[in-house]
Copies of this chain bind each other. A is one copy, B any other.
């Protein structure tokens, strides 16, 4: 039986996190007015620079007594790890963040600075190590996307948007494991089923777009998804719970090229004055470069999901030379690996 996250769960999550989490503003996409409103949900100005704190805080809270006794554990070299570390600290819970040995030292230090213990492991152990640790110590594993609580927390963005944008027509959401879009879709479709929720992926990591098209969950080889500059969107497949939300609730998933992501990073900086990380620009890239393919009617909002960009990359993009984009993706058919 398919048991999607309900609007009541999302409203509960929102009520429990709103003291800590910021209500982020909705900004116009350009320096000039446009005919139909093109808007940006500024989650890159969220606490810690990404939306991840919403789901992480609710999930650590929901982990309750067991977490207070035995702590929480999460795998991530990126935004999820920081968010779990911060949430645990705010709630007085011990956190272990499992990071790949390949993670840059600056990211490891950022997580330590938030009070978490860091375990460095070989990348292959990123799923098994937290699981074993949980089994051995009783620590609660906080999954980055395949979790009801994480999805419910992220859903608070949908509630804010319904409030902030009265004429909402379309929401564009970046997709990796699918936790963010699941929460947004569950929140928005429950109250306004006519609002379109559209996922956006890099062409180089378009497993969710392919899954949506085929109607079954496919994975892509990590050597493929690892090539996109959008380093928050490299998951090789959707989570099972997100997949249920996506096939039931999401209208479409579109893809954007590396050049389009880099160009959008630059346009967001120069026209909207917003600095985002590549993953955070992907939804806006569809707004800028897929206008004709998107449904008309109502305001279109792209979620700027994160801003944790390295200064050097930001400087190179602004200077006009995006990082050399990876080679184009091979045709999807040759890559899809069925998983369910």
Interface residues of A (CB under 8 A from B): 22, 25, 27-28, 31-33, 42, 44-45, 47-49, 266, 269-270, 272-276, 307, 311-312, 314-316, 318-320
Question: Given A275-B275, A318-B315, is A27 in contact with B45 using a C-beta cutoff of 8 Å?
Answer: yes
Complex: how many Å from CA A319 to CA B70?
Answer: 43
Taking the nearest CB of chain B, how far is it from the CB of A282, in angstroms?
16
Contact of A31 among B31, B33, B47, B319 (CB under 8 A): B47
Inter-chain contact A311/B27, CB cutoff 8 Å: no
Sorted nearest first, the 10 A-B pairs with minimum C-beta distance are A25-B25, A315-B319, A315-B318, A273-B307, A273-B275, A315-B315, A31-B49, A314-B318, A44-B273, A311-B318
Extra contacts besides A22-B28, A274-B274, A315-B318 (16): CB < 8 Å: A25-B27, A27-B42, A27-B45, A31-B49, A32-B47, A32-B48, A33-B47, A44-B273, A266-B311, A273-B307, A275-B275, A311-B318, A312-B318, A315-B315, A315-B320, A319-B319
Tally of this chain's copies? 2
Inter-chain contact B307/A312, CB cutoff 8 Å: no
Complex: how many Å from CA A276 to CA B44?
Answer: 16
Taking the nearest CB of chain B, how far is it from the CB of A91, in angstroms?
15
Inter-chain contact A320/B311, CB cutoff 8 Å: yes
Residue of B nearest to A49 (CB): B31
Complex: how many Å from CA A173 to CA B311?
Answer: 27
Residues of B within 8 A of A32 (CB): 47-48
Taking the nearest CB of chain B, how far is it from the CB of A6, in angstroms?
30
Residues of B within 8 A of A312 (CB): 318-319
Residue of B nearest to A307 (CB): B273
Taking the nearest CB of chain B, how far is it from the CB of A135, in angstroms?
33
